Amino acid sequence: MKTDNKKTLNCRTAWQNCLLKIQGMVPREEFVKWFLPVEALDFDGSKLRLKVPNNSFYKQLDSNYLDILQPLIRAYFGEGTTLTYAIPKNSAAKSTNSESATLGKDVDVSQVKNPFILPAIRKESFESNLNPKYTFANFIEGDCNRMVRSAAFNVSLNPGSTAFNPLFIFGDSGLGKTHVAQAIGNEVKMRHPKLRVLYVPMSTFKAQFQTANINKEVTDFISFYQKIDVLIIDDIQELSGLPGTQNAFFNIFNHLQMNGKQLVLVSDKPPVELVGIEERLITRFKWGLSAQIHVPDRKTKLDIIRLKANDLDATVSEDVQEYLADNISANVREIEGAISSLVANSKFLNKRITIDLTKEILKVYVSMEVKEITIELIINTVCEYMKVDREKLESNDRTREVALARQLCMFLAKEHTKMSLVNIGHAIGNRNHATVLHSCKTIQSLMDIDKVIRKQVNDLEKLLS
Ligand code: ADP
Ligand code: MG
C-alpha cells in the first residue's frame, strides 16, 4: 500500500513538473483550459494514465498538444512511456489510449475524490441558493421590462434550448434584475425538478475561486460548476480585472454552452460597456440575447405601488397612489422603500394614509434622495457653471463651450451616477453610447494635460457634492 501511495505521489510530482514546463510554453488561457483540468492518475513504470474531463476534451488535447506533451512526458517519466487517457464513465466515453500502446482499462474516475462535487452535487436536494420570494407571479410586467420578462419566462420553460443562451439581463440598479433572474431559477425548479439550478452572485463566485486557488482545487471548482444545468450569475460586471477568475469562468461558460446548459447573466451594463473583462468573454455574452430593463413608466409604477401596498396589507387610496407615482423616483427599490416607510409611519402614528401624510413622509424621504447625484443635477450644475444654455447643451450646437459643457456632463454622469452610457446619452440630447464613451475619454485625457479643465472638473465635483 505504502509503495502504491509513493508511486502515485511520484507520478503526481512528475506531472506537476510537466505542468510547470507547459505553463511557460503555451498562453495562459490555453494552459488553464487544456492542462489544468488534466490529472495524473498513475504511472506503472511504462504507462502514464491521465484523467481528462470528457471524450471531446481528450480528442482536442491529443490532436493539438501531443507535440508538447510527448517530449515532456518522456523527459519526466522516462523514454518509451506511453500515454493513456481515462475518461469518467458518466461522460459516456471509454478510456482510450494514444501512441498505439496497449489500451488502458476503463476507469470510473467519478469515484475520484472531489471536494466540490461530492458533498454538494450528489446531495438529494441540491442547494440552489434561490430566494423563493422572487417569482414571475409577483413581478409586475410593463413596457419597461416586457422583453426581459418574456425572454426569462421562455428560458424557464425550455432551459438551454431557446436561442436565449446566454440570457444577458442588464439595467440600472433597483429595476428588478435580480428579481427576474431568481424568478427564472424558481420557475425552473418547479417545472423541471430534476435540473440543477444555481444562483450565485459574482462576489460569491469570486470568493469561491480564490479559496479554490489557494487550496489548489481550481479543477474541482470548475468541474462543480460544469455540472450545473441552469447557472444564474448576478452582477457579472464584478468579474472586471480578475484574469484568473475570468479564465475559470471562461471554461465553465464554454462547457455549459457546448452541452446545452442554460446560462443567465445579470449585469448593470450592456456587454459592450463592460470594462476590464476579456474580449473573448464579452463576445460570448453577446451570443444569446441581451435584454435591458428600463426605468418603469407611470403605469408600471402604479401597478408596483398597488402590489407593494397590498403585500403590506395597507389600504392606499387612488389619489395617494398617483401622488406616489408622480413624486417618487422611478427606481423600484426606492418605490418599495417609500411605501414601507409610509405604511410604517401611518401605523405608528395611528393615522389614515392621506395625501397630507404622504407629503410629510415623502418630504423626508425625497430630501434624502436629492443628495444623490442625478443626471438632472449634473446638467443644471454644469450649465450654470459653464454659463451655457440648457437648450444649447441638448442641441447639436458645436461651439467649443457648448461641446465642452456637454462632454463634462457626460463625464461627470459616468463617474458619479450608476447610469449606463446608453442612458446618459439619452438624457443629454439623445446621443448614442459611442459619443458618450468618446466624450468621457476626451475629458479624461484633457485632465492629464490641461490645468483649466482639471480645475473645472474639480470645481464641478465640489458643487455636486
Ligand atoms: P436590481 O437587481 O436590478 O438592482 P432588484 O431585483 O433587487 O433590482 O429589485 C429591487 C426591488 O424591487 C426588489 O425588492 C424587487 O422585488 C422589486 N421589483 C423590481 N421590479 C419589480 C417588478 N417589476 N415587480 C415587482 N417588484 C419589482
Ligand atoms: Mg441585483
Q: Which tens digits make up the pLDDT trace of 165-207?
A: 999 999 999 999 999 999 999 999 999 999 999 999 999 999 9
Q: How far is the CA of 179 from the centre of ligand 1 (A)?
A: 5
Q: Whose CA is nearest to atom 23 of ligand 1?
A: 140
State the pLDDT at residue 61: 86
Separation in Å, CA 73 to CA 18, 47, 48, 52, 86: 7, 10, 9, 16, 16
Q: How far is the CA of 173 from the centre of ligand 1 (A)?
A: 9
State the pLDDT at residue 8: 61
**Protein residues near ligand 2, an ion, with CB under 5 A:** 178
With the most atoms of ligand 1 within 8 angstroms of its CB, the residue from 138, 237, 298, 332 to mutate is 332
Global pTM reads: 0.59
Look at 146-160, 280-294, 322-336, 415-429 and tell me which has the smallest mean pLDDT.
Answer: 322-336
With the most atoms of ligand 1 within 8 angstroms of its CB, the residue from 140, 144, 179, 331 to mutate is 179
Q: How far is the CA of 194 from the centre of ligand 1 (A)?
A: 28
Q: What confidence category does residue 129 fall into, taking pLDDT thresholds of 50, 70 and 90?
A: very high
Q: How far is the CA of 174 from the centre of ligand 1 (A)?
A: 6
In percent, how much of the chain has pLDDT > 70?
A: 88
State the pLDDT at residue 159: 97
Residues having CB within 6 Å of any atom of ligand 1: 138-140, 145, 171, 173-179, 304, 332-333, 336
Q: Whose CA is nearest to atom 9 of ligand 1?
A: 176
pLDDT at 105 over 50: no
C-beta separation of 91 from 123 below 8 A: no
State the pLDDT at residue 334: 84
**Can you tell me the distance from the alpha carbon of 301 to that of 142, in angstroms, rounded to the nearest whole number?**
9
Which of 27-41, 50-64, 99-113, 195-209 is the most confident on average?
195-209
Q: What confidence category does residue 422 fall into, taking pLDDT thresholds of 50, 70 and 90?
A: very high
Q: For residue 234, give the ligand nearest its CA.
A: 2
Q: For residue 418, give the ligand nearest its CA.
A: 1
Q: Whose CA is nearest to atom 6 of ligand 1?
A: 176
**Can you tell me the distance from the alpha carbon of 439 to that of 345, in angstroms, rounded to the nearest whole number?**
45
More confident residue, 32 or 3: 32
Q: How far is the CA of 126 from the centre of ligand 1 (A)?
A: 26
* Beta-bridge partner residues of 33: none
Q: Whose CA is nearest to atom 16 of ligand 1?
A: 179
Stretch 118-137: mean pLDDT, rounded?
72
Q: For residue 131, give the ligand nearest its CA.
A: 1
Q: What confidence category does residue 80 fall into, taking pLDDT thresholds of 50, 70 and 90?
A: confident
State the pLDDT at residue 388: 94
Average pLDDT of the chain to the nearest whole number: 85
Stretch 419-434: mean pLDDT, rounded?
92
Separation in Å, CA 393 to CA 19, 332, 397, 400, 423: 59, 30, 7, 11, 16
Residue 194, all three cell numbers: 430534476
User: Which numbered atom of ligand 1 lies nearest the CA of 133?
Assistant: 16
pLDDT at 103 over 60: no
User: Which numbered atom of ligand 1 lies nearest the CA of 134?
Assistant: 16
Q: Strand 230-234 relative to strand 39-43: parallel, antiparallel, unpaired?
A: unpaired
Q: Whose CA is nearest to atom 19 of ligand 1?
A: 176
Residue 126 zone, left/alpha/beta (φ > 0; ψ -120 to 50; rest): beta
